[in-house]
Amino acid sequence: MAVPRRRPGAPPQPGPGRWRRRLRRLLVTVLLVGLLLPPVMLLAYRWLPPPATPLMLIRLVEGQGFDYRWRPIGDVTPHLARAMIASEDNLFCMHRGFDVQALRTEVERAFAGQRPRGASTITQQLAKNLFLWPGRGFGRKILEAWLAPQLELILGKPRILELYVNIVELGPGIYGAEAASRRWFEKAAGELSEREAARLAVILPAPLTRNPRGDWASQRSSVIQQRIGQLGPLLDCVPR
């Protein structure tokens, strides 16, 4: 059987080997971008506020609105950072980005086919907000655990807190301490009382459905205020 010949001047047809090389180069490029982009962005975020986050853009597309007002940590009452640590991550000032025992439990639950419970540290939640997507999937939890030590190394505890209190979701289309303080209590973030800060902190697991001025938040905030007093030196990393 005659072998078809390529017409003179016609471009060569890529063979299987060439497609494999192209696919390999593409995969290597994607891997390098995935490895190098977060540290580069984190270096910028050591000094610059994020213009937006993936979650903000997703919520905007969903019609939630966009109220995001950056404030230096010195302009936000330290009551809020303390309340968030007491509510979300008691060992924040001590750990290196993630709770090993909690992560091990999540892995065991995933392999057992059970629904994850969460248990993310504040550092992991910041990693999710800066780079990832909302949800509770096992794959995202692994990415959080991979990114969290990078945040700890590059940013440090005070900057992690500053970023977190500024970009965390605190209501439909409401991001950060200043926007939430204005929306829920009609005052600046630096003027929040300890109880008002605790009320904001307790809605964090479900900020789209919980109201910090509701009865549940009022009852739960009393528990958080009591816990703040019990944590003592575990809150030493919070800027005064």
Distances (CA, A) of 54 to 110, 133, 195, 214: 25, 7, 30, 29
Phi and psi at 128, nearest 5°, equal -60, -45
Position with higher pLDDT, 137 vs 160: 160
Residue 94 makes CB contacts below 8 A (sequence gap 6+) with 234
Given a cut of 90, is residue 6 above it in pLDDT?
no
Q: Quick one: CA dihedral 52, 53, 56, 57, positive or negative?
A: positive
| Within-domain flag for 26 | no
Position with higher pLDDT, 220 vs 205: 220
| Within-domain flag for 17 | no
Give the model's pLDDT for residue 240: 79
| Within-domain flag for 48 | yes
Given a cut of 80, is residue 235 above it in pLDDT?
yes
d(C-alpha 193, C-alpha 80), whole Å: 9
pTM over 0.85: no
How many structural domains is the chain composed of?
Answer: 1
Position with higher pLDDT, 113 vs 163: 163
The domain that holds 142 is classified in CATH as 1.10.3810.10
| Within-domain flag for 188 | yes
Given a cut of 70, is residue 13 above it in pLDDT?
no
Given a cut of 80, is residue 135 above it in pLDDT?
no
Distances (CA, A) of 40 to 33, 46, 91, 150, 217: 10, 10, 27, 11, 38
User: Percent of the chain at pLDDT above 90?
Assistant: 64
Given a cut of 70, is residue 21 above it in pLDDT?
no
| Within-domain flag for 240 | no
Give the model's pLDDT for residue 175: 97
Give the model's pLDDT for residue 178: 98
Position with higher pLDDT, 145 vs 217: 217
User: What pairs with residue 174 in β-bridges?
Assistant: 67
Give the model's pLDDT for residue 191: 97
| Within-domain flag for 3 | no
| Within-domain flag for 15 | no
d(C-alpha 107, C-alpha 109), whole Å: 5
Position with higher pLDDT, 14 vs 224: 224
What value does the mean pLDDT take over residues 53-82? 95
Give the model's pLDDT for residue 163: 98
**Sorting pLDDT into bands at 50, 70 and 90, what band is 29?**
low
Give the model's pLDDT for residue 103: 67
Given a cut of 70, is residue 39 above it in pLDDT?
yes
CA 53 from centroid of its chain's CA atoms: 9
Give the model's pLDDT for residue 10: 52
- Residue 116 corresponds to which tokens in the numbers above? 């994850």
Q: What is the mean pLDDT of the chain?
A: 86
Note down the domain range covering 65.
32-233
| Within-domain flag for 127 | yes
Given a cut of 70, is residue 12 above it in pLDDT?
no
